[in-house]
Amino acid sequence: MYRRDYIQRMIEEVARSLSRAMGLRKDGLDEQALETVREAYHTFFSMEAELVARLHPDDMLTFFTGQYELKNEQKESLSHVLEAEGMLLAGKNPEESDDRLRKALVLLEHLDATDKATFSIDRRQRIENLREKLKNDPEFPADENQ
């Protein structure tokens, strides 16, 4: 019970942090917004943004379920952080932006495939939006099932 309450509070704090970052972006303070998002990795997931940046998308699931033992709710929150960082990097560094968006997509697709207890329309929409954003990325594999 305490663990669930802790995770719920963490999810709410991540949402507030990302909301702050998007407010900074709206005010034209992109660097501060990016720093706010990158601080979220450390504050909420006890990992450094540089580590997340170095991880290959294919290695993420093993890493986050092995060493960090993230629960599904935490993976969902992490996907929001990755997506926000990707959006903030889009104009500045398209390759890094696509990398973060790919990583968010990997987490979301994993959750969609494995979290049978929760069906999320929001998650499905985010997956489709990320696929659309990444469809011109040469490193993004075409999904043969679509």
HEC secondary structure over 14-68 = HHHHHHHHHHHHHCCCHHHHHHHHHHHHHHHHCCCHHHHHHCCHHHHHHHHHHCC
- pLDDT at 48 > cutoff 80: yes
- Enumerate residues 6+ apart whose C-beta is below 8 A from 101: 82, 83, 86, 130, 133, 134
10 Å Cβ neighbour count for 1?
5
What is the rounded average pLDDT of the residues 13-29? Answer: 94
- pLDDT at 144 > cutoff 50: no
- Enumerate residues 6+ apart whose C-beta is below 8 A from 67: none
Torsion of CA 68, 73, 77, 79, to 10 degrees: 80
Q: Please answer whether residues 77 and 10 qualify as being in contact, where contact means their C-beta atoms are separated by less than 8 angstroms.
A: yes
Q: pTM score, two decimals?
A: 0.86
What is the rounded average pLDDT of the residues 53-59? Answer: 90
- pLDDT at 115 > cutoff 60: yes
- pLDDT at 33 > cutoff 80: yes
Q: What average pLDDT is seen over the chain?
A: 87
Q: Please answer whether residues 137 and 105 qualify as being in contact, where contact means their C-beta atoms are separated by less than 8 angstroms.
A: no
- pLDDT at 145 > cutoff 50: no
Phi-psi category of residue 110: left, alpha or beta, with phi > 0 → left and psi -120 to 50 → alpha: alpha
More confident residue, 65 or 84: 84
For the ranges 6-10, 12-16, 141-145, which has the lowest average pLDDT? 141-145
- Enumerate residues 6+ apart whose C-beta is below 8 A from 102: 57, 134, 137, 139, 140
More confident residue, 58 or 110: 110
- pLDDT at 45 > cutoff 70: yes
